[in-house]
Amino acid sequence: MTAATDLTLAGARAALARREISAVELTRAHLEAIEALNPRLNAFITVTPEQALAQAEAADAALARGEAKPLTGLPLAIKDLFCTAGTRTTAASRILGDFVPPYESTVTSQLLRDGAVFLGKANLDEFAMGSSNTSSAFGAVENPWKRQGEEGTVLVPGGSSGGSAAAVAARLALGATATDTGGSIRQPAAFCGVAGIKPTYGRCSRFGIIAYASSLDQAGPVARTVEDCAILLNSMAGFDPRDSTSADLPVPDFAAACERGVKGLRIGIPREYRLDGLPAEIAALWEQGMAWLKAEGATLVEISLPHTKYALPTYYIVAPAEASSNLARYDGVRFGLRENGEDLKDLYERTRAAGFGEEVKRRILIGTYVLSAGYYDAYYVKAQQVRALIRQDFDHAWEQVDAILAPTTPSAAFGRDEKQDDPVAMYLNDVFTVTANLAGIPGLSVPAGQDAKGLPLGLQILGRRFDEETVFAVGRAIERNAGFSALPALRAAA
């Protein structure tokens, strides 16, 4: 039999239903994998074995009564940005190092409602700001993949949901929650050889998710297959009156949509995504993806998204501006770290200097500057106008196509010591992913191939607002054709 940690989420659900494995056995296998590998990978900030085993026992009782729900007994990792009642939630920051939320985020409460088992809280870039998971106050995460012939080089898992993606890739969890503000689900999924979807803005409630940039933040799942992502998103999504931007729309059966096929679909290929200097391997994989979809009956249409090159600078005004406002609440008074000072202002300043890391401080300063008197129109209003043009680009595209195919990232996972000294070079990681956040549209990354050193590469499917179903159908077709079966060097049961 397949090792319990090698099962897909759907496969594990079927095995539980047939009573071939118990939820306690399944959970214990994952806890043992975490114990063996987490000291090295650092994918979890907090592990909650007692809670996980208690939930698994309850799941076995429910299964015995024939009362299984969609996720009964399935062990998941929860990005440590989702508030979990009674379990420390840190956002990977010193400033929230001891914060224990008294309430549960809507997304995690829906996963619990559907019977999931929570293994613990996954590592991330501090406050979800980063593309390499090196800015966590709890230490960097190691990508379980290795370049062939360079087994000693530590690669980053991507970010900000690096712990979620690494945990799923290394088989420490069947799936994970994640969040995506500029690519933070899709880029780490691509770097770790797993699937991940950022749904439409408004699809998942943001209630109880620690805010980074509220008009861009969106929760979604990471898992090893497209179908597993669809199953998790079905539980995570849905209207929530506690989030004023939550969409009051029915949640379709995403898992059913995976097998729709792509026959007759029009797939857009944006010419502006053919960047100068795009590695040949990534260009070739993109061509391969086009050929797969064409062979399955889709029509390829070259499209233009003329404002693409302005997406990153737009993002790096809007996101820091919103972050500087959202992070104003961390002042050492009501929760979190406090550093005493001579007076109240000194207390605020010392608390925030001690509590925030360098990248968070940089973004707060940029955000404060672009929102300050005299610069607001030149930077912030200008960026929100360009954002409107980026949205228009997509609105025009949807008149011609049903989905868009693009690479997820401009490179495979890079070394922990590479690209770290230049913030702008690091920001370029998000070049293909950030447009979906600015436009509020869904984007799915699917592992589709490997580079010459054996590292995974992802293809990304973008879709219309609230049309995740087409995105899943195209993603599943890519997944089926790619037949991605390579395994990371570091994994459970290896």
Q: Is 324 a catalytic residue?
A: no
Is 88 a binding residue for other proteins by CB under 8 A? The answer is no
Rg (C-alpha) for the chain, rounded Å, is 21
Q: Which of 131, 135, 184, 235 is an active site residue?
A: 184
- Integer Cα distance of 53 and 65 in angstroms: 18
The DSSP secondary-structure symbol of 378 reads I
Which of positions 455-494 make contact with other proteins (CB under 8 A)?
465
| Total of residues contacting other proteins (CB under 8 A) | 73
- Tokens encoding 345: 């202002």
Q: Is 184 a catalytic residue?
A: yes
DSSP of 222-261: EESSHHHHHHHHHHH-S--TTSTT----PPP-HHHHGGG-
Q: Is 160 a catalytic residue?
A: yes
- Tokens encoding 451: 């580079």
> Which residue from 28, 69, 260, 382 is in contact with other proteins, where contact means CB under 8 A?
382
Is 207 a binding residue for other proteins by CB under 8 A? The answer is no
Is 335 a binding residue for other proteins by CB under 8 A? The answer is yes
Q: CB of 348: closest distance to other proteins in angstroms?
A: 4
Dmax (CA) of the chain: 70
> Which residue from 46, 51, 153, 214 is in contact with other proteins, where contact means CB under 8 A?
214
Contacts with 132 (C-beta within 8 Å, 6 or more apart), sequence order: 125, 140, 156, 157, 158, 159, 162, 414, 416, 419, 420, 426, 429
> Which residue from 202, 220, 289, 475 is in contact with other proteins, where contact means CB under 8 A?
202
Is 305 a binding residue for other proteins by CB under 8 A? The answer is no
Is 329 a binding residue for other proteins by CB under 8 A? The answer is no
Pick 260 or 382: Cβ nearer other proteins: 382
Q: Which of 79, 121, 146, 419 is an active site residue?
A: 79
For 181-338, strand residue ranges (E) read 195-198, 218-223, 266-270, 299-303
Is 391 a binding residue for other proteins by CB under 8 A? The answer is yes
> Which residue from 2, 150, 294, 372 is in contact with other proteins, where contact means CB under 8 A?
372
Is 368 a binding residue for other proteins by CB under 8 A? The answer is yes
> In this structure, are residues 75 and 33 in contact, taking their beta carbons and an 8 Å threshold?
no
Annotate each residue in 237-276 with x if it binds other proteins (CB under 8 A) or - if it does not, as one string: ----x--xx-xx----------------------------
Is 352 a binding residue for other proteins by CB under 8 A? The answer is yes
Say what angle helices 311-326 and 382-397 make with each other, to 10 degrees.
Answer: 120
- Tokens encoding 404: 């868009």
Which of positions 401-440 make contact with other proteins (CB under 8 A)?
422-424, 440
Active site residues: 79, 160, 184
